[in-house]
Chains A and B, each alone.
Chain A
Amino acid sequence: MTELVRVDNVSKVFDISPPLWHRVLTRQPKRLVQAVDNVSMSIEAGQTYALVGESGSGKSTLARTIVGLTPPTSGSVWFDGALLAGATHKAVAPSVRRQVQMIFQSPYASLNPRWRVGDIVAEPIRAFGLSDRRQASRRVDELLEQVGLASSDAARFPHEFSGGQRQRISIARALASEPRFIVCDEPTSALDVSVQAQVLNLLKQLQRDLGLTYLFITHDLAVVRTMAHQIGVMKQGALVEAQSADALFASPQHAYTQMLLDSAPIVSPKASRSGQL
């Protein structure tokens, strides 16, 4: 197994104190929130790393830090030996940035409502100058078909699609720059249960076909079960446990992980007797 993404001692501290003049006048101390606390992890190529934890555990912040949307306070993130995010404001090479994409939680806010689907999917191709105009439109058709939409959908606007279809458009956009690593921030939590399975299956199939590596942020343990090879458990900004999926479900080491597994709803009484979720 080869390592694709390495996270080195990443911390993220948010300064949420009131404006300086206000703080000085009212003699309040600085207020800091430690969203991510010295996290190190390693993601293997071609695998899915699931990051689980309750709301506010810092998993989304960690994901945003890894892709470079928010710079870490300290530590660094490496992609295939190249710097992806660091505390120093060093520019990330476009060739590296192109290989990392993100799929967002809300299928409604993640697509610009004023843009046609074709333009949305073509944007990464144009931004990285991957092909000329005519090739780009052919590539868009190809991508839309790859995620289970029709090439004629390129002329429509996002509001004409359902939540699941919009998430497919997001996936098509993420694939447009031919990435090797995709961060999925709760990509199915806003969808109906029936549609969730379709989107998860699509992601799995794309992983098989294109050899993608995923970082999967979720709080849904059923999703983790179907997707993950490796699992990291976060609590209050720290990574408290990291194991292979089988090992973690079989014998959770940390007390918090055990609690998390116990709190998941049981699907059927039969499954609960045999000790499965």
Chain B
Amino acid sequence: MSIGQRLYQWWDSDFFYAFRTSPVAIVAFSVVMLLFGGALLAPLLSVMDPFDMAALNLMNGFTPPMQPNAFTGDTFLLGTDDQGRDLWSAILHGLRVSLFVGFSAVGLAMAIGISLGLLAGYLGGWVDALIMRVADVQVTFPSILIAMLIFGIARGLLPPEARNDFAIWVLILSIGLSEWVQFARTVRGTTMVEKEKEYVQAAQLLGLSRLQIMRRHILPNVMGPVLVIATITLALAIIAEATLSFLGVGAPPTQPSLGTLISIGQDFLFSGEWWILLFPALTLLALALSVNLLGDWLRDTLNPRLQ
């Protein structure tokens, strides 16, 4: 099959038709792609390196958007924060951190949730009971609380000089560990339906091991719903990261994420420097909203019962 044919087949598919005809999906996807692009090209698009303390000029602090600074005469598109850090550059780099943490955390949650869900659904019995009770206990705690708990433990275990370097990884670990339950539950349910199907029995007849059957037969059939949950969880993870960073337990100020920027901006909201809070907050809103809308659209499109 030629590439042209393949492209046409893709363009003509039900899935892509649903996308082409849904304005919400197109807008949400465009916003997400725009933000992704911004994050990827951050070093090229930004005016300065916001992590480089030496490049900051304290005299540029609190410059309003699109106005020349009273002392230096420099103009910044979105203004600067208290340290004279260009907000446009800071947001682009913050977006990078937020997206990296979001994707990694969802990846971790998926890996844990899918494995445990497959084991619980396929093996049943006490394995199922154990995994699902752990999941039940976990959902009774708010995920932010679990994340803060893990964060606290990790800080206690790490030497003080390593804390900032490992902050991002602790963040990923804590969000990943608090979001796996939904994956596990969904995968368990789908697995229980799939394992009763005769193609699984046909595989059992061949003497394949349970692990082989789970990986080769059941896993490909549970990925549909997992994809939908992954998208919605991505929005949750980005917000969780922002919340943790806002609370001061997330990304360190030397490596600010959107949440860190909002947290910094919050200090100056009542003294009139509104832009330090507003622009990072708007970016977070746009990102979380469009990822969420995309996830909702994906759920509606891929669910055969709603078609």
> Which A residues lie at the B interface, using CB under 8 A?
64, 67-69, 92, 94, 97, 100-102, 104-106, 109-115, 120, 123-124, 127-128, 170, 173, 177
Q: How far is the CB of A201 from chain B (nearest CB, A)?
A: 23
Instruction: Give the interface centre of A101, A112, A124, A173 by most chain B CB atoms within 10 Å.
Output: A112
List of A residues within 8 angstroms of B208 by Cβ: 127
Chain A, Cβ-Cβ closest to B207: A97
List of A residues within 8 angstroms of B217 by Cβ: 112
List of B residues within 8 angstroms of A128 by Cβ: 206
* With contact pairs A112-B221, A113-B221, A114-B220 given, residues A69 and B199 touching in the complex (Cβ less than 8 Å): no
**Interface pair A106/B198, CB less than 8 Å apart:** yes
Q: Say whether B203 faces chain A, with CB atoms less than 8 Å apart.
A: yes
**Interface pair B207/A110, CB less than 8 Å apart:** no
List of A residues within 8 angstroms of B201 by Cβ: 64, 69, 102, 104
Q: Say whether B205 faces chain A, with CB atoms less than 8 Å apart.
A: yes
Contact with A along B193-204 (1 / 0, CB 8 A): 000011101111
Q: Within the complex, which residue of A100, A105, A110 is in contact with B202, where a contact is CB–CB below 8 Å?
A: A110
| A231–B201 alpha-carbon span in the complex (Å) | 26
List of A residues within 8 angstroms of B197 by Cβ: 109-110
Q: How far is the CB of B51 from chain A (nearest CB, A)?
A: 45
**Interface pair B206/A102, CB less than 8 Å apart:** no
In the complex, given contacts A68-B205, A124-B206, what are 6 additional A-B residue pairs having Cβ atoms less than 8 angstroms apart? A64-B201, A94-B207, A100-B205, A104-B202, A112-B199, A115-B220
**What are 13 sample pairs from A and B whose C-beta atoms fall under 8 A apart?**
A69-B201, A69-B204, A97-B205, A97-B207, A101-B205, A102-B205, A109-B199, A114-B220, A120-B199, A124-B206, A127-B206, A127-B207, A170-B202
**Interface pair A123/B198, CB less than 8 Å apart:** no
List of B residues within 8 angstroms of A173 by Cβ: 202
Within 8 A of A (CB), among B31-76: none
Q: Within the complex, which residue of A94, A110, A177 is in contact with B199, where a contact is CB–CB below 8 Å?
A: A110
Chain A, Cβ-Cβ closest to B208: A127
**Interface pair A109/B198, CB less than 8 Å apart:** yes
Size bracket, chain B contacts: 10 to 19
| A114–B220 alpha-carbon span in the complex (Å) | 7
Q: Within the complex, which residue of A67, A106, A112, A120 is in contact with B205, where a contact is CB–CB below 8 Å?
A: A67
List of A residues within 8 angstroms of B199 by Cβ: 109-112, 120
| A94–B209 alpha-carbon span in the complex (Å) | 13
List of A residues within 8 angstroms of B205 by Cβ: 67-69, 97, 100-102
List of A residues within 8 angstroms of B198 by Cβ: 104-106, 109-110
Q: How far is the CB of B2 from chain A (nearest CB, A)?
A: 15
Chain A, Cβ-Cβ closest to B203: A123
Q: How far is the CB of A24 from chain B (nearest CB, A)?
A: 16
Q: How far is the CB of B16 from chain A (nearest CB, A)?
A: 18
| A170–B220 alpha-carbon span in the complex (Å) | 20
Q: How far is the CB of A35 from chain B (nearest CB, A)?
A: 17
| A94–B207 alpha-carbon span in the complex (Å) | 7
Q: How far is the CB of A100 from chain B (nearest CB, A)?
A: 8
| A153–B201 alpha-carbon span in the complex (Å) | 23
List of A residues within 8 angstroms of B221 by Cβ: 112-114
Contact with A along B99-136 (1 / 0, CB 8 A): 00000000000000000000000000000000000000
Q: How far is the CB of A185 from chain B (nearest CB, A)?
A: 9
List of A residues within 8 angstroms of B203 by Cβ: 123
| A173–B198 alpha-carbon span in the complex (Å) | 13
Chain B, Cβ-Cβ closest to A64: B201
Instruction: Give the interface centre of B199, B201, B221 by most chain A CB atoms within 10 Å.
Output: B199
- 4 closest cross-chain pairs (CB), A and B: A110-B198, A104-B198, A114-B220, A127-B206
Chain B, Cβ-Cβ closest to A155: B1
List of B residues within 8 angstroms of A123 by Cβ: 203, 206
| A124–B205 alpha-carbon span in the complex (Å) | 9
| A55–B93 alpha-carbon span in the complex (Å) | 66
| A154–B113 alpha-carbon span in the complex (Å) | 34
List of B residues within 8 angstroms of A94 by Cβ: 207
| A127–B216 alpha-carbon span in the complex (Å) | 12
Q: How far is the CB of B194 from chain A (nearest CB, A)?
A: 9
List of A residues within 8 angstroms of B206 by Cβ: 97, 123-124, 127-128, 177
Q: How far is the CB of A224 from chain B (nearest CB, A)?
A: 22
| A188–B281 alpha-carbon span in the complex (Å) | 62
Q: How far is the CB of B221 from chain A (nearest CB, A)?
A: 6
| A119–B208 alpha-carbon span in the complex (Å) | 15
Chain A, Cβ-Cβ closest to B197: A109
| A97–B206 alpha-carbon span in the complex (Å) | 7
Contact with A along B227-238 (1 / 0, CB 8 A): 000000000000
| A115–B198 alpha-carbon span in the complex (Å) | 14
| A20–B274 alpha-carbon span in the complex (Å) | 63
| A170–B199 alpha-carbon span in the complex (Å) | 9
List of B residues within 8 angstroms of A112 by Cβ: 199, 217, 220-221
| A186–B263 alpha-carbon span in the complex (Å) | 66
Q: How far is the CB of B205 from chain A (nearest CB, A)?
A: 6
Q: How far is the CB of A157 from chain B (nearest CB, A)?
A: 12
Q: How far is the CB of B260 from chain A (nearest CB, A)?
A: 42
| A166–B202 alpha-carbon span in the complex (Å) | 14
Q: How far is the CB of B257 from chain A (nearest CB, A)?
A: 37
